[in-house]
Amino acid sequence: MSCDSSGYGERRCGDVVLRATAVGKHYDTERGPLRVLSHVDLEVRQGEMVSVMGASGVGKSTLLYVLGTLDQPTRGQLEIRGTDVMRLSEPELAAFRNRHIGFVFQFHYLLPEFTALENVLMPVLICGENMEAGREEALRLMERVGLTDRLHHRPTEMSGGECQRVAVVRSLIRRPEVVLADEPSGNLDEATSEVLHDLITELAQAYQQAFIIMTHDRGLAERANRMALLEGGRLHFSGTPDGRRTES
Ligand SMILES: Nc1ncnc2c1ncn2[C@@H]1O[C@H](COP(=O)(O)OP(=O)(O)O)[C@@H](O)[C@H]1O
Ligand SMILES: [Mg+2]
């Protein structure tokens, strides 16, 4: 099935890499179950960017955690690269997540005692992969995001925007097929956000990764192939078949 015929716009999109079916999630609280997601259906293809907007407290982070296998859905199915991830044991899941899923959060969560380059290389180190190849890729990506002269700076010696760019590079270093971003520019000023949005859009296309972005930022949301509103525990797609602004 071609992306164009199914309304995915002009970008080339490949196979489905993430499929959530009838996903529900409630939290058990002292006052009983708090239902956050009631029925989420979502298919995301290779190279496709999907944005999810929604009011604060509506469940965007919850959805991101569930899709990223960091939290279990209460019901429904989740398949990533054809693997039923809900059947994996905790160690299998951790390995799967490390290999195939990248995360970008609102706060960069860089490790303060390490330099930018060391932070970027952390996933390579943790996965026991070839450090030399990792280092080459890190240098290339850091150059791509304009941080060649910040390689040996620690997070406290960099601006918020620089730290966030380092965090994006760290999330992409192992080329995960799925990248989940939770308010990636929520903490940045407008000009810095714009730089980060350019970066995310370009890298997603260059590496043909599936990006799912939870954001308040309409400008970022509109860069996606498809836009959804999370409301009432469901995703409502407005569709941006050719990237034009849509009514919401
Ligand atoms: N661990 C938790 N236990 C209980 N309630 C939670 C927990 N995490 C989030 N919530 C509640 O779930 C709802 C959705 O939260 P969240 O996913 O963080 O929303 P958003 O990211 O859209 O702001 C909120 O009402 C929040 O208070
Ligand atoms: Mg949130």
pLDDT 10s digits, 12-51: 567 999 999 999 999 999 999 999 999 999 999 999 999 9
* SS3 call for 78: strand
DSSP 133-182: HHHHHHHHHHHHTT-GGGTT--GGGS-HHHHHHHHHHHHHTT--SEEEEE
pLDDT at position 7 is 42
Exposed (0-12), middle (13-18) or buried (19+): which is 186, by Cβ within 10 Å?
middle
Q: What CATH number did the domain enclosing 95 receive?
A: 3.40.50.300
Q: Which ligand is nearest to the CA of 230?
A: 1
What range does the domain containing 145 cover? 4-235
Interval 198-213: pLDDT, tens: 888 888 888 889 999 9
Whether 79 maps to a domain, the answer reads yes
Whether 247 maps to a domain, the answer reads no
Whether 245 maps to a domain, the answer reads no
Report CA(113)–ligand 2 centroid distance (Å): 27
**Total length of the chain:** 248
Mutation test residue for ligand 1: of 40, 61, 70, 106, the one with most atoms within 8 Å of CB: 61
Whether 61 maps to a domain, the answer reads yes
Residue 195 Cα distances to 50, 112, 161, 246, angstroms: 19, 23, 8, 23
Whether 244 maps to a domain, the answer reads no
DSSP state of 5: G
Report CA(71)–ligand 1 centroid distance (Å): 12
Q: What pLDDT band is residue 92 in, cutting at 50, 70 and 90? A: very high
pLDDT more than 70, % of the chain: 91
DSSP state of 96: H
Residue from 155, 140, 73, 69 nearest 108 by CA? 155
Mutation test residue for ligand 1: of 26, 31, 40, 58, the one with most atoms within 8 Å of CB: 58
Strand-pair partners of 203: none
Residue 91 · residue 81 · CB < 8 Å? no
- How many domains, the chain? 1
pLDDT score of 1 more than 70: no
pLDDT score of 2 more than 60: no
Report CA(185)–ligand 1 centroid distance (Å): 20
Report CA(231)–ligand 2 centroid distance (Å): 14
Mean pLDDT of 221-239: 92
Q: Is the CB of 57 under 6 A from ligand 1?
A: yes
Whether 243 maps to a domain, the answer reads no
Whether 246 maps to a domain, the answer reads no
